[in-house]
C-alpha cells in the first residue's frame, strides 16, 4: 500500500475510534454527570500539593473543567494534573479538561515558570501573523506538557475605548481587520500546539469603560459599529476553526440585548449558532465576576447560562460548591428549564473536543520536562524588539541608571545588567525631585525613567510623568522614558526617546518577554 493511502486509512481509523469513544462516553454518563461536564470549578489543593477532598469529590461526580492552579510551580502543577487525570480514569469518566488564562504562557496562571511570552499587544505592535502563530504554537506545546488543555485566549476584542480599564495589553490593539488576522493566527497556533483555543470576549468588549469584574457593562453600541468593528475578528476566528468562544458580561440595548450577553439566548443561539454558524463550544466568562454575582447567585447563574444556550457555565466556584450547583441544574432539567437534547449536544461537543486533543489515549504529561520549566525564562525569539513601540531612537551608549519603584523597573535594570550594560538601579518614585537627585549623583549616566501605570490609565500616565521627563531634558540630561502602555510610543508625548512596552496587565502580571524586548530596543 502506498504511503499516502496508508496515512489516509490510518486517519479514517483514528477518526472512527475517536467517534466510537465519544458515543460510548455519552451513552455511559448519567444526567447528573452530563450536567457536571458543563461546569468549571476552581481546584483545591492540600499542603502536600494534591487535589483536596472536595476537588476529588467533584471529579468523581463528573466535573468537566478545572480552572488553572495559582501560586504553584510548573512541576507541582504537572503532578497535580496527573492525579486529576488518574481520578477520572479510575472511574471511567471523560478526562477532566484543565483550563486557564494562558495569555502570556503557563506562568500567567501559575505565577511563574515556563516560557514568558509577550502579551497580545506586543504582537499587535509587530503586526506579524507568523510571529503570532509561532508564539501561540510554542505556548500550546509547553502547556500540554504540564497538563493544560484549554486556554481562554486570545482576546480578539477591538479596542475603541481609550480608557478601557481591563483589556489593555491583553488585546492586540489594532484595527478590526488586523485584529482578525492576528487572532486567527493565534487560534491556529494554539490548536496546532495541542490546546483548545478560545476567542473572547464575544460579542466584543473593547468599547467598554466598565470593568466587568466589578459591574455589568452597558454599551451604547449601534448596529453599524457592531457589524463593521466588533464582529469581523470573531468571524475570522470561526473560519479558523476556533474550538471555543467565550461570551462576555456586556449588555447591548441598542441591539436588543438588555441583560448580560453571557445569559442571552439571542447572543448564543441567534448570533453565534445562527448568524455565525458556529458549531464549537460556547463558554461564559466567569460567573463569579461582579457583573453577574452582584445580582445572581452561583447556582442560579449556572442555570441561566445553560438555559440561554451556553455549553459551559464558567461558575469558577470552589469545588465544595459543586454539589449544590448540580442540585439546582438537575431540578431545572426535570422541570424543563433545561432541555435533555441540548444537554446531550453540549456534552457531545465537549467529548469531541477531548478526542480532538487525543485525551482518550492518555494525558501526555511529561514530569521530567516540567521540572526543567520551573525556572521561567523569556521567549527566545529573533526580533523581540518588534513587540514594543519606540520613538526617537532610544538607546544607551554608556552607563545608565534605571529609576522607578515598580517590578517593571527592577526587572528592566536586572535584564540590562545581565546583558553586559553598566547599569545601576534606583528604586525611587519617578518624580522631578527623584530624577534630579539621581542625575546629580550620576552626571555621566543616561537616566532610564520607568513608570508602570495599569490599563485604566492607558499608558498616557498623566501630565506629571511627561513634565518630569521634560524638566530633566531641559537641564541637558539624556533621558529615556519607558512606560507600561498599550499605546504607540509617539502618543506618550515625553518629548524625546521613549519605549512603550505592553509588559504588565491590569492584574499586575509582568511579562518577562516584554522586559527582554525593552532591553533589545535599548541596545
Q: What is the pLDDT along the chain (523 residues), one digit of tens a residue?
A: 455 554 454 445 467 668 899 999 999 999 999 999 999 999 999 999 999 999 999 999 999 999 999 999 999 999 999 999 999 999 999 999 999 999 899 999 999 999 999 999 999 999 999 999 999 999 999 999 999 999 999 999 999 998 888 898 999 999 999 999 999 999 999 999 999 999 999 999 999 999 999 999 999 999 999 999 999 999 999 999 999 999 999 999 999 999 999 999 999 999 999 999 999 999 999 999 999 999 999 999 999 999 999 999 999 999 999 999 999 999 999 999 999 999 999 999 999 999 999 999 889 898 989 999 999 888 988 889 999 999 999 989 899 999 999 999 999 999 999 888 899 999 998 888 888 899 899 999 999 999 998 766 654 456 788 888 998 888 888 999 999 999 899 988 898 999 999 999 988 889 999 999 999 999 8
Assess whether 348 and 415 both reside in one domain. Answer: no
Question: Which of the residues are catalytic?
Answer: 213, 285
Q: Is residue 14 part of a domain?
A: no
Q: Is residue 4 part of a domain?
A: no
In this structure, the chain runs to a length of 523
Assess whether 340 and 405 both reside in one domain. Answer: no
Question: What total of structural domains would you count in the chain?
Answer: 2
In the DSSP assignment, the letter for residue 301 is H
Query: At which of 372, 394, 419 does a domain end?
Result: 372
CB distance 153 to 198 below 8 Å: yes
Assess whether 188 and 302 both reside in one domain. Answer: yes
Predicted pLDDT at 12: 55
Euclidean distance between CA atoms 421 and 238, whole angstroms:
46
Assess whether 304 and 225 both reside in one domain. Answer: yes
Q: Is residue 17 part of a domain?
A: no
Tell me if residue 317 falls in helix, strand or coil: strand
Assess whether 247 and 99 both reside in one domain. Answer: yes
Euclidean distance between CA atoms 200 and 152, whole angstroms:
7
Predicted pLDDT at 164: 85
What domain range includes position 411? 382-521
Assess whether 362 and 404 both reside in one domain. Answer: no
Euclidean distance between CA atoms 106 and 178, whole angstroms:
26
* Strands 389-391 and 498-501, sheet pairing: antiparallel
Assess whether 124 and 223 both reside in one domain. Answer: yes
Query: At which of 314, 349, 372 does a domain end?
Result: 372
Q: Is residue 98 part of a domain?
A: yes
C-alpha 52: how far from chain center: 26
CB distance 291 to 217 below 8 Å: yes
Assess whether 210 and 113 both reside in one domain. Answer: yes
Give start and end residues of each alpha helix (H) in 147-260.
Answer: 176-192, 223-225, 232-239
Q: What angle do CA 375, 377, 381 make, to 5 degrees?
A: 155
The domain that holds 415 is classified in CATH as 3.40.50
Q: Is residue 8 part of a domain?
A: no
| 15 burial level (CB within 10 Å; 0-12, 13-18, 19+) | exposed
Q: Is residue 431 part of a domain?
A: yes
Assess whether 368 and 301 both reside in one domain. Answer: yes
Assess whether 142 and 283 both reside in one domain. Answer: yes
The domain that holds 285 is classified in CATH as 3.20.20.300
Kind plus residue range of the DSSP H or E element containing 65: strand 65-67
CB distance 137 to 190 below 8 Å: yes
Euclidean distance between CA atoms 350 and 377, whole angstroms:
33
Query: At which of 372, 404, 438 does a domain end?
Result: 372
For the record, the C-alpha cell of 379 comes out as: 521567549
| Ramachandran category for residue 92: left, alpha or beta (phi over 0 → left; psi -120 to 50 → alpha) | left
Q: Is residue 458 part of a domain?
A: yes
Q: Is residue 209 part of a domain?
A: yes
Backbone angles phi, psi at 438, to 5 degrees: -65, -40
Assess whether 332 and 421 both reside in one domain. Answer: no
For the record, the C-alpha cell of 491 comes out as: 502618543
C-alpha 13: how far from chain center: 35
Assess whether 401 and 365 both reside in one domain. Answer: no
Amino acid at each position: 500500500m502506498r504511503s499516502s493511502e496508508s496515512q489516509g486509512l490510518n486517519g479514517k481509523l483514528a477518526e472512527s475510534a475517536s467517534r466510537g469513544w465519544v458515543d460510548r462516553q455519552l451513552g455511559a454518563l448519567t444526567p447528573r454527570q452530563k450536567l457536571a461536564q458543563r461546569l468549571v470549578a476552581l481546584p483545591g489543593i492540600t499542603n502536600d500539593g494534591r487535589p483536596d477532598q472536595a476537588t476529588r469529590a467533584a471529579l468523581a461526580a463528573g466535573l468537566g473543567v478545572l480552572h488553572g492552579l495559582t501560586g504553584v510551580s510548573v512541576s507541582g502543577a504537572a503532578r497535580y494534573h496527573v492525579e486529576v487525570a488518574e481520578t477520572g480514569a479510575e472511574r471511567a469518566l471523560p478526562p477532566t479538561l484543565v483550563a486557564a488564562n494562558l495569555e502570556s504562557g503557563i506562568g500567567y496562571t501559575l505565577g511563574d515558570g515556563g516560557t514568558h511570552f509577550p502579551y497580545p499587544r506586543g504582537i499587535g505592535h509587530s503586526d506579524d501573523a507568523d510571529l503570532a502563530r509561532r508564539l501561540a504554537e510554542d505556548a500550546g506545546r509547553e502547556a500540554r506538557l504540564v497538563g493544560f488543555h484549554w486556554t481562554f485566549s486570545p482576546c480578539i476584542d477591538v479596542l475603541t475605548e481609550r480608557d478601557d480599564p481591563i483589556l489593555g495589553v491583553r488585546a492586540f490593539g489594532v484595527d478590526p481587520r488586523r485584529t482578525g488576522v492576528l487572532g486567527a493566527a493565534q487560534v491556529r497556533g494554539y490548536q496546532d500546539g495541542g490546546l483548545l483555543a478560545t476567542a473572547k470576549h464575544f460579542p466584543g468588549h473593547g468599547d467598554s469603560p466598565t470593568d466587568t469584574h466589578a459591574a455589568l457593562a452597558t454599551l451604547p453600541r449601534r448596529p453599524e459599529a457592531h457589524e463593521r468593528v466588533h464582529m469581523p475578528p470573531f468571524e475570522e476566528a470561526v473560519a479558523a476553526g476556533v474550538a471555543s468562544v467565550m461570551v462576555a458580561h456586556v449588555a447591548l440595548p441598542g441591539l436588543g440585548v438588555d441583560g448580560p450577553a453571557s445569559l442571552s439566548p439571542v447572543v448564543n443561539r441567534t448570533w453565534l449558532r445562527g448568524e455565525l454558524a458556529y458549531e464549537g463550544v460556547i463558554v461564559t466568562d466567569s460567573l463569579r465576576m461582579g457583573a453577574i454575582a452582584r445580582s445572581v447567585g452561583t447556582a442560579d447563574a449556572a442555570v441561566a447560562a445553560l438555559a440561554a444556550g451556553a455549553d459551559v457555565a464558567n461558575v469558577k466556584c470552589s469545588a465544595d460548591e459543586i454539589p449544590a450547583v448540580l442540585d439546582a441544574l438537575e431540578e431545572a432539567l426535570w422541570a424543563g428549564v433545561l432541555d435533555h437534547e441540548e444537554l446531550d449536544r453540549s456534552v457531545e461537543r465537549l467529548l469531541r473536543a477531548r478526542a480532538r486533543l487525543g485525551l482518550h489515549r492518555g494525558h501526555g504529561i511529561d514530569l521530567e520536562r516540567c521540572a526543567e520549566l520551573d525556572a521561567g525564562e523569556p521567549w527566545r525569539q529573533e526580533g523581540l524588539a518588534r513587540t514594543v513601540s519606540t520613538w526617537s531612537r532610544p538607546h544607551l551608549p554608556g552607563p545608565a541608571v534605571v529609576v522607578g519603584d515598580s517590578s517593571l523597573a527592577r526587572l528592566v535594570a536586572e535584564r540590562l545588567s545581565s546583558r553586559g550594560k553598566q547599569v545601576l538601579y534606583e528604586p525611587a518614585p519617578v518624580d522631578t525631585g527623584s530624577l534630579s537627585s539621581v542625575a546629580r549623583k550620576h552626571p555621566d549616566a543616561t537616566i532610564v525613567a520607568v513608570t508602570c501605570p495599569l490599563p485604566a490609565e492607558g499608558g498616557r500616565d498623566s501630565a506629571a510623568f511627561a513634565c518630569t521627563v521634560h524638566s530633566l531634558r531641559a537641564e541637558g540630561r539624556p533621558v529615556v522614558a519607558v512606560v507600561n502602555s498599550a499605546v504607540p510610543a509617539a502618543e506618550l508625548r515625553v518629548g524625546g526617546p521613549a519605549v512603550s512596552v505592553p509588559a504588565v496587565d491590569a492584574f499586575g502580571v509582568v511579562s518577562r518577554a516584554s522586559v527582554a524586548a525593552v532591553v533589545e530596543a535599548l541596545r
